[in-house]
Amino acid sequence: MERHYCHLHLISDATGETLIAVSRAVAAQYQGVSSLEHIYPLVRTRRQLERVINEIAAAPGMVLFTLVDQELAHRLEEGCKEIGAPCLSVLQPILNLFQSYLGAPATPRPGAQHMLNADYFRRIDALNFTLMHDDGQQSENYEAADVLLIGVSRTSKTPTSIYLANRGVKTANIPFVPDVPLPKSIESLRKPLVVGLLATPDSIVQVRRMRLLSLDADQDSPYVDRHVVADEVAQSRKLFERRGWATIDVTRRSIEETAAAIIDLYNIHRLKFISCS
Encode burial over 173-206: b for 16+ CB neighbours within 10 A, e otherwise: bbbbeeeeebeeebeeeeebbbbbbbbebebbbe
Is 156 one of the annotated binding-site residues? yes
Give Rg (Cα) of the chain. Answer: 24
**Nearest Cα to 136, choosing from 112, 119, 114, 152?**
152
Distances from the Cα of 212 to the Cα of 43, 115, 204, 223, angstroms: 44, 42, 12, 9
DSSP state of 217: -
Is 151 one of the annotated binding-site residues? yes
Is 170 one of the annotated binding-site residues? no
Evaluate whether 4 touches 57 at the Cβ level (below 8 Å): no
Is 152 one of the annotated binding-site residues? yes
Is 270 one of the annotated binding-site residues? no
Beta bridge partners of 150: 174, 196
How far is it, in rounded angstroms, from Cα 172 to Cα 139?
9
Is 12 one of the annotated binding-site residues? no
Is 154 one of the annotated binding-site residues? yes
Query: Which parts are annotated binding residues?
Result: 151-158
Annotated binding site for ADP: 151-158
